[in-house]
Amino acid sequence: MNFKRINQIYNGSFRLSQNAAADFPDGWLRTGGSAGTVWQWLKPPEHSYAVLVQHPGGLPAGIAQDKDAAVPAGEAQHWEVCLRLHAAAAASAYLWIHYYASDHFLRVAKYDYLLPQGEAMIKQVFVTPRRTTAFTLNLGLLAGGSLIINKVFSRRLYPQFPISLDTKGQVLVGRVDTVGKIEQPVTLAGPIEVTVTSDIRDLTPTRDGVRIYGSSPLPVATTAGGVTLVQTAGHDFYQQLRTATATPMMNFSPAIDVSPYSLFSYAVYNSGSAGAVARLEISPDNTVWVANTPEKSINGGQLVVLTPTHFLRYTRLAYSAATPTTLTAWFQAQS
């Protein structure tokens, strides 16, 4: 596996430190895990630069790129991700690729791997979905184990030349013959003359029309009767994952603007032994808040789902516990 080409992953070799937190490499975050999970930034002279994840089990645990370090990309691009790993024993690993369109989450692609004991080199090729403007990587252990992440590398395979994107991540079109697909209507320079020979009567635009018949692989698909077939796009999926410690004081997750979504819920998992409570809150202006659901008890080791009963533009999760315990919250939405 060749790591000599230019790496598009910021700090993929874990050499740079954060200004605010010198105990972890810049551009990377701890993600998932449980109360017993340990993350360690390995550095010379004791070890080459790497990140060690020691995980007792439970939820997946690993590292994720900070959104500020996302890799710029366009739609329908071919990319390659290469991982250099070392497992203390045979383990199950994962790679999750999160795709974004501007500041909007599009979807996540998930890949699982069975690692042998010792060194492992993983290569994954993927194609960015429609409307992509950037992506981030999340990788680590699916179950318990000890994993050293030595290097994360990514490069664009196709197209290899630079391309220009608009604010929505679409390819900018200079001439019609530079792109094979045009998604917006095209205004013609003049009318197209169509001559129709009829032995019944003369045809007029106000009284008659034209029916189009298509056949594969032509771009217009029709039924046998000439009715155009239209394929609708699928739903976009958005997910936000957050781990926090619940304390006797009521705490709140960051507010989320839910106006782009048709459906959303929170799932909250209590990985500690002490009980906790949580509720959803909503706001019209991200300033004044009101409870959207009653408080729900979450026992240790329990997963609960909180579904909204009313709609306002902003939502957040409120949570507390008489004895500190660790909560993992998923916000999942569909548009």
Residue 150 lies in a domain: yes
> Among the three residues 126, 158, 190, which one is the final residue of a domain in this structure?
158
- The predicted structure's pLDDT at residue 162: 52
Tens digits of residue pLDDT in 149-166: 999 999 998 886 555 555
Reported as a pLDDT band with limits 50, 70 and 90, residue 97 is very high
The answer to whether the pTM exceeds 0.75 is: no
pLDDT averaged over every residue in the chain = 83
Looking at the structure, do residues 144 and 257 belong to the same domain, yes or no? no
CA atoms within 13 A on the CB side of 232: 3
Q: How confident is the model over 295-320, as a mean pLDDT?
A: 93
Tens digits of residue pLDDT in 166-188: 554 454 544 444 444 444 555 55
Residue 185 lies in a domain: no
> Among the three residues 141, 158, 175, which one is the final residue of a domain in this structure?
158
CATH number, position 130: 2.60.120.260
Looking at the structure, do residues 255 and 144 belong to the same domain, yes or no? no
Looking at the structure, do residues 37 and 153 belong to the same domain, yes or no? yes
Looking at the structure, do residues 250 and 147 belong to the same domain, yes or no? no
Query: Number of structural domains, the chain?
Result: 2
Looking at the structure, do residues 33 and 139 belong to the same domain, yes or no? yes
Residue 224 lies in a domain: no
> Among the three residues 139, 158, 177, which one is the final residue of a domain in this structure?
158
Domain assignment of residue 243, given as a range: 237-334
CATH number, position 306: 2.60.120.10
Looking at the structure, do residues 154 and 34 belong to the same domain, yes or no? yes
Tens digits of residue pLDDT in 35-81: 899 999 999 988 999 999 999 998 999 999 999 899 999 999 999 99
Residue 114 lies in a domain: yes
Looking at the structure, do residues 137 and 250 belong to the same domain, yes or no? no
Residue 251 lies in a domain: yes
Looking at the structure, do residues 143 and 256 belong to the same domain, yes or no? no
Residue 171 lies in a domain: no
Residue 298 lies in a domain: yes
Residue 190 lies in a domain: no
Provide the token pair at 167. 């604010």
